[in-house]
Amino acid sequence: MAIPHLPDYPLPTASDLPDNRAAWQAEASRSVLLIHDMQEHFIGFYGDDSLLVQRLIENIVRLRDWCHEQGIPVVYTAQPSDQPPSDRALLNDFWGPGLTEADPGRQAIVSALTPAEGETVLTKWRYSAFQRSELRTLMQEWGRDQLLITGVYAHIGCLATALEAFMVDIQAFMVGDAVADFSAEEHHMALNYVASRCGCVTALGDLVGDTSNQPSRDWLRHRVTRLIDGMSLRWRPTRTCWTMAWIRFKS
């Protein structure tokens, strides 16, 4: 019932993103940045050496810095460690108890994304960041009607937030290389749904004016190393060289 161990996979590049049905354009004067559930609890399921997480955080930091420069408000969501079963309600049936007071440190937002003084942190109770929160009210007070969505997980809370934004006439922009998911397949499913049904999908580079955001050498090296770890050298007497034989693969 709990979230499983989550694999590394390459974040999509701009060329991987789906075509948008709507022709919306993100505007700094209309936007709010949402950093969704980037807590130690949720990020921890990727493991300690996840290059996916490293790149995700780097991309969100870049976008947040750009938003600060543009005067775009930044809002965070974080689930509480004190979640009585009555408050979690149906979430218990899908994910168990979630965050608990037994390990309150896992409630913290990852250190690289620690909210700055004056930034808003909303307590998160349901998939959508709008549920039981002041997000819509704050956006109305700020005169903003566009929401840039980053964080985890793309096909759960990020998607639910984008869909509810559509329901209340807020234009949602899911930043395709600044969200992460259970798998590449679910990541792309979320992007495809948003692009075709309730919002727009954009790339970090398209927002900040840098289109060079490609997979790093570190990520590629890490991935190749994991593939090699799933192989073994075997001597084949009919040949004069060592050949690589697949005898096992580590997921």
**Paired residues of 233 in beta bridges:** 244
Per-residue pLDDT of 83-103, as tens digits, reads 888 889 999 899 888 777 657
Which regions of the chain carry the CATH code 3.40.50.850?
A: 28-207
pLDDT at 241: 40
Per-residue pLDDT of 1-26, as tens digits, reads 578 899 999 999 999 999 999 999 99
Give the pLDDT mean for 119-148: 98
pLDDT at 86: 86
Looking at every residue in the chain, the average pLDDT score rounds to 87
pLDDT at 240: 40
Q: List, edge to edge, every strand of the sheet that includes 146-152.
A: 120-123, 74-78, 31-36, 146-152, 171-180, 200-202
pLDDT over threshold 50, residue 245:
no
Residue 37 annotated as catalytic:
yes
| Residue partners of 214: CB distance under 8 A and separation at least 6 | 13
Active-site residue among 37, 177, 181, 206?
37
Residue-wise over 24-51: b if at least 16 C-beta within 10 A, else e?
eebeeebbbbbbbbbbebbbbbbeeebb
CA dihedral 178, 184, 187, 191 (to 10 degrees): 90
pLDDT over threshold 70, residue 243:
no
Give CA 188 to chain center in angstroms.
12
* This model's pTM is above 0.75: yes
For β-strands 146-152 and 74-78, DSSP reports them as unpaired
Q: Which CATH superfamily is domain 28-207 in?
A: Isochorismatase-like (3.40.50.850)
